[in-house]
Structure formats: C-alpha cells, structure tokens
Amino acid sequence: MKTLLKMPELPEVQTIVNDLKAAGLIGATIIGAQVLWPRTISGPSSNIFCQRIKQKKVTDIRRRGKYIVFDLSGPDHLLIHLRMTGRLHWVAPDQPRSKHEHVILHFQNQYQLRFHDTRKFGRFYLVRDPEKIIGHLGPEPLAPSFTARVLADHINLRKRMLKPLLLDQSFIAGLGNIYVDEALWEAEIHPCRMASSLSKVEIKALHRAICKVLKQGLKNLGTTLGAGQPNFCSVAKRKGRNRDQLKVFRRTDLPCHRCNSIVERMVVGQRGTHICPQCQMMAS
C-alpha cells in the first residue's frame, strides 16, 4: 500500500509547539548538540551550529507559518521546518538512537530533543534575525488581525487561481493541501476560480471556512493520514484525530457529507485536489 504523506500544516506544527511547551523546554538549557546528517543544518555549518547553540537557554517556543521557532538566550533563534517527514522526539538519553535521527540537542535536565526525518528534507536554521527566514510569510490565519476585510484586501487584487494562491505561504502562512481543500469545500467554492472573481459574500464565507477547519484541526491535534511511521505524530507520540473529520480530502469516490454527490479528485496547480462537483460548481 502506498504510504500517505503530507507536509505538516498549521494545526500539526502548533500541536508540536504545544507539546514542546508542555514538556518543559521553556527555561531549559542546551548543553550540547550532535549533527549526524550535516545537510539538515541550513546555516551555519554543522560545527559552528554545535558551538553556538551550546549553553543557550530556551526562552520561548512559538510557531510562524509552518516553522517552529525557538527563541534562545543571547542573539540566536533556532528555526525548524519539518518538511514531509520531520518529527521531534523528547526522550531520555538511554533510549536507543534511530538511524533516522539526524540532530540531537542535549539538555541540562538530561533529556534529549531528537530530530527524526526519514526523507531528510527537514531543515534547521540558527540565525540572529529570524525575519531572514520567515519575513516573507503572509498573515497568520488565526490571528485576530486576520479579518475578512484583510482577506478581501489581499484577494481582490490577485489574478491567480484560488487554490495555488491559498497555498502560497507569502499570501497566508500555514495553510497546506489538506486544509485548503477542506476550507474550499466548507465555503462551497471551486479551487479553480480566479481569486479576483470572488464576491464579498464568498470572501466572508472563505474566511469563516479557513478559521473553522484550522480550529477543528487544532482541537483534534492535527491530521494523521495513515499508520505508517513517516506520518504525523506529536512530540508526545500522539496521532492526530482530524482524519475522521475530513469532508473531501482523500475521500475520492465517497459521498459528499453535504449533498451525497461523489467526491472527485483533480489536479490544480500540480497538486492533488478534492472537491464535491455539486457543492463547488464553477461560477457560470
């Protein structure tokens, strides 16, 4: 059976951040690091990374888009992008190391934060100014400042197909294939519509839908698509429960929850896309 993989999106990344905080990492001091796959470190070099991160205290952990941001004592910030298969494991040092654990941070309390990544696409950035990495990101869709009017101001000027626009991290941060498909179904909007063609009513519906599906994903601790090891699980090794709440994503040939039409799969902007052809008709 083909392994179902997808990049963690806002609910999955926020779940990981919440787990890291619950594990007590804020205030903990990093006393050393091991880099077992140097390409995981995008900057600086792995040797300098290990030197600079030593004796740094974690002052805060937050999410920006799909990035996990560790604010450290002194001028540095550690940013982690999980990509397709990245995971963070908080373990005791006597736990045997997996061959897929490529970076290990050693903490003063004797625990280790290990980065596990079967595909080796995930990246670490140790930077003085995090805006160099995340400054291009668009607004956070669950921030109070992200209103329907803000979405309208952004969307009305865009002569782009709607789904690729919503996946563009410089337009809105944190959305990916799952939650875009779900939001468009919720709003009853076809993914191939031109963004500039949306009415005020449709934009308000889309705004509500984006917030709804993301909040649902957060409540359910993210979406785990299958039982295979590369699929998403939290730092606490919990699988997301949101798969059972999905309305169209990877429900090809199943009945729509709203109208009983058969869910179809199509390709939009080179991405597999799931729609209800009845609920999400193209505007005439």
CB neighbours of residue 122 within 10 Å: 24
C-alpha to C-alpha distance for 273 and 243, rounded to whole angstroms: 16
Calculate ∠ Cα 222-181-206, nearest 5°: 100
How much is the pTM? 0.93
C-alpha to C-alpha distance for 208 and 180, rounded to whole angstroms: 12
Evaluate if residue 7 carries a pLDDT over 90: no
For residue 77, give Cα distances in angstroms to 13, 198, 280. Answer: 17, 39, 43
Give tens-digit pLDDT for 219-259. 998 888 765 545 566 676 777 888 889 999 999 999 999 99
Phi, psi of 265 (to 5 degrees): -110, 135
- Dihedral over Cα of 149, 153, 154, 157: its sign: positive
Give tens-digit pLDDT for 156-185. 888 899 999 999 999 999 999 999 999 999
> Catalytic residues, which ones?
8-9, 66, 271
Evaluate if residue 87 carries a pLDDT over 50: yes
Structure tokens at 85: 């298969």
Strand pairing class (123-127; 41-43): parallel
